[in-house]
């Protein structure tokens, strides 16, 4: 198959047919990126910074178009899609400061002067998932370009449209075509060439833990660097001393945003037993209040699932005899709709509580005390994100330190801020994206000693 039909998940209509990049075309693109690397590396820091700011300005000027593309391609709500396009702009602006701040060190040594330099790696392959096509692309290509690398980017097969547009905007802004290339195609073809082709010096992958392990194993053969942001089964821990009304009102938006198709979704709610019943009473109207519908409407808070295949997977977790406490609503008719669903499984071992369902399904279980809450939150192979609701600052810090996750929020469900590092513990991944240190992940430290002895 040489083309792929992009489907609008809210209508099941074909949006556009996109040509799929072949293995041979991928290798040719990697070769062009290799040839372009010396020239891009040697662009002066100020000029590289200026080009990244021009790229950010181009995204800003095209923000509404990018957002509408994402609504059509991914079924994201228009509010979310505008934020996502704005995040690409903001991340580009943030890392546009990096080229002029790639500082090395002067290390005191006897007999001479010792200097270190942060050198770019070469060609970086970025593999982007379908759940957040724009921002996750930017988290990879912006710091990589800032550090002086060239980038080949593979969008998810289901959601290539905004990545293709970002590639066009980069060229309009003056980024040389071979410095940043977007290659739509299959993971088994394009993504595999990123892993196997020695011309790619690093692979950045966001997606499932299963595929991440395969990429890591493939890169090991060449000692190729990787950054992996993988799955998550994230706990939302609600203590009895919290603002219970606020915690219950916020809980649906911690898991049902983007229809639960989020590695950071708080899909396991742990509630202190003494307030469990009251929390459930407050949670039910909050879930019923989630507005599910046309993602292009300004009032919509949750859109459809991404595809028929994924809808079938999510549905398989909630058969007729599932322990459903209550559900929200979803449209009838065309589209991959699934209502917000709250379940009360008998134990943490139940797949509803243990698996990353990646849909609008949340499990609620009680706990006795701090120690049990931490034990329950850590009973997972994942460790990406989570929330803690309490008025006790000491408890917030104790529990935050004890929960094995890379990104925790107290009295909030926020996981991602481009100013701060993002990544997971355990099988949720390797390395960190975003924040002031992300550029270092796209460089090698070179040590140079200059003898001053006669």
Tell me the C-alpha distance between 324 and 337, whole Å: 17
Considering the candidates 84, 229, 301, 433, report the single residue annotated as catalytic: 229
**Cβ proximity of 13 and 56 under 8 Å:** no
Considering the candidates 219, 263, 264, 301, report the single residue annotated as catalytic: 263
**Sheet-wide strand order for 361-367:** 324-327, 341-343, 361-367, 268-272, 235-238, 385-389, 407-410
CA-based R_g, the chain, Å: 23
Tell me the C-alpha distance between 119 and 41, whole Å: 9
Report the candidate in 244, 267, 243 with the shortest Cα–Cα distance to residue 385: 267
**Cβ proximity of 239 and 390 under 8 Å:** yes
Q: What angle do helix axes 78-95 and 45-61 make, rounded to 10 degrees?
A: 170
Q: What is the 3-state secondary structure (H, E, C) of the chain?
A: CCEEEEEECCCCEEEEEEECCCHHHHHHHHHHHHHHHHHHHCCCHHHHHHHHHHHHHHHHHCHHHHHHHHHHHHCCCHHHHHHHHHHHHHHHHHHCCCHHHCCCCEEEECCEEEEEEEEECCEEEEECCCCCHHHHHHHHHHHHHHCCCEEEEECCCCCCHHHHHHHHHHHHHCCCCCCEEECCCCHHHHHHHHHHCCCEEEEEEECCHHHHHHHHHHHHCCCCEEEEECCCCCEEEECCCCCHHHHHHHHHHHHCHHHHCCCCCCCEEEEEHHHHHHHHHHHHHHHHCCCECCCCCCCCCECCCCCHHHHHHHHHCCCCCCCEEEECCCCCCCCCCCCCEEECCCCCCCHHHHCCCCCCEEEEEEECCHHHHHHHHHCCCCCCEEEEECCCHHHHHHHHHHCCCCEEEECCCCCCCCCCCECCCHHHEECCECCCCHHHHHEEEEEEEEECCC
- C-alpha distances in Å from residue 273, one per residue of 34, 277, 324, 368: 58, 8, 19, 6
Verify whether residue 263 is a known catalytic residue.
Answer: yes
Verify whether residue 219 is a known catalytic residue.
Answer: no
Active site amino acids: 229, 263
């Amino acid at each position: 198959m040489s083309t792929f039909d992009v489907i609008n998940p809210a209508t099941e209509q074909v949006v556009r047919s996109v040509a799929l990049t072949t293995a041979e075309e991928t290798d040719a693109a990697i070769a062009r990126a290799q040839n372009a690397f010396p020239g891009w590396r040697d662009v002066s820091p100020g000029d590289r910074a200026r080009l990244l700011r021009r790229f950010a300005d181009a995204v800003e000027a095209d923000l509404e178009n990018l957002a509408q593309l994402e609504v059509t391609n991914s079924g994201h709500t228009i509010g979310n899609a505008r934020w996502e396009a704005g995040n690409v702009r903001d991340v580009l602006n943030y890392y546009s400061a990096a080229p002029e701040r790639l500082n090395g060190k002067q290390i005191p040594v006897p007999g001479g002067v010792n200097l270190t330099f942060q050198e770019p790696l070469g060609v970086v392959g970025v593999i982007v998932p379908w759940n957040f096509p724009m921002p996750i692309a930017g988290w990879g290509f912006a710091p990589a370009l800032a550090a002086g690398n060239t980038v080949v980017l593979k969008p998810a097969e289901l959601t290539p449209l905004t990545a293709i547009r970002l590639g066009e905007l980069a060229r309009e802004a003056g980024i040389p075509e071979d410095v940043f290339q977007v290659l739509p195609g299959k993971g088994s073809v394009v993504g595999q060439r990123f892993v196997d082709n020695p011309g790619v010096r690093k692979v950045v992958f966001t997606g499932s833990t299963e595929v991440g392990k395969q990429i890591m194993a493939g890169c090991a053969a060449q000692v190729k660097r990787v950054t992996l942001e993988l799955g998550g089964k994230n706990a939302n821990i609600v203590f009895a001393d919290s603002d219970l009304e606020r915690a219950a009102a916020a809980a649906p938006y911690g898991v049902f945003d983007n229809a639960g198709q989020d590695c950071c979704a708080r899909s396991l709610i742990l509630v202190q037993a003494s307030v469990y019943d009251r929390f459930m009473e407050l949670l039910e109207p909050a879930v019923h209040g989630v507005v599910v519908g046309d993602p292009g409407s300004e009032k919509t808070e949750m859109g459809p699932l991404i595809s028929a295949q994924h809808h079938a997977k999510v549905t398989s977790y909630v058969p007729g005899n599932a322990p459903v406490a209550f559900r929200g609503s979803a449209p009838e008719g065309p589209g991959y709709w699934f209502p917000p669903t709250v379940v009360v499984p008998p134990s943490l071992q139940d797949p509803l509580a243990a698996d990353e369902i990646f849909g609008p399904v949340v499990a609620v279980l009680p706990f006795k005390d701090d120690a049990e809450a931490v034990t329950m939150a850590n009973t997972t192979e994942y460790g990406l994100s989570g929330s803690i609701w309490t008025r006790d600052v000491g408890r917030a810090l104790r529990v935050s330190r004890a929960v094995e996750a890379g990104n925790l929020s107290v009295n909030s469900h926020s996981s991602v801020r481009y100013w701060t590092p993002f990544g997971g513990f355990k099988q949720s991944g390797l390395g960190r994206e975003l924040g002031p240190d992300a550029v270092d992940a796209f460089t090698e430290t070179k040590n140079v000693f200059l003898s001053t002895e006669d």
